[in-house]
Amino acid sequence: MLEKQHIQYFKNLVGEEDFFTDLAHLNAYCYDATKERHLPSGVIFPKNEREISQILKYCNEHRLIVVPRGGWERFYRGSVEREWGANFKRRKAFGQNFRN
């Protein structure tokens, strides 16, 4: 479970509409191509490269695990966290080589 200080930081950064800790969102991001399920502590939808950079910097400083999530075009292993941390996915694409 994420501490309140971390939850508040992410809500302030991306807005409450793009950071979730409710069970419905956590369940949607708790699996990958394996049968294993690992509930994340939070789900973040950054809107741009600046937010991604700040999320990664913050998580690194506080030793939080980050599990990036793609657009589900392919279904791979390794897209769920094995310990507490944050799972994040881009809502909108940035750059020519990325699609969501």
Given a cut of 50, whether residue 31 has pLDDT beyond it is yes
Segment 60-90, tens digit of pLDDT: 999 988 888 765 545 544 445 444 455 555 5
Is the separation of the CB atoms in 46 and 52 below 8 Å?
yes
The answer to whether domain 4-89 has CATH 3.40.50.850 is: no
Q: What is the mean pLDDT of residues 27-52?
A: 84
CA distance 82 to 46: 22
Phi-psi region of 18 (alpha: psi -120 to 50; beta: other; left: phi over 0): alpha
Domain residues of the chain, as ranges?
4-89
| Cβ-based burial of 21 (10 A; exposed 0-12, middle 13-18, buried ≥19) | middle
The pTM (predicted TM-score) of the whole model is 0.70
The residue among 83 and 23 whose pLDDT is bigger is 23
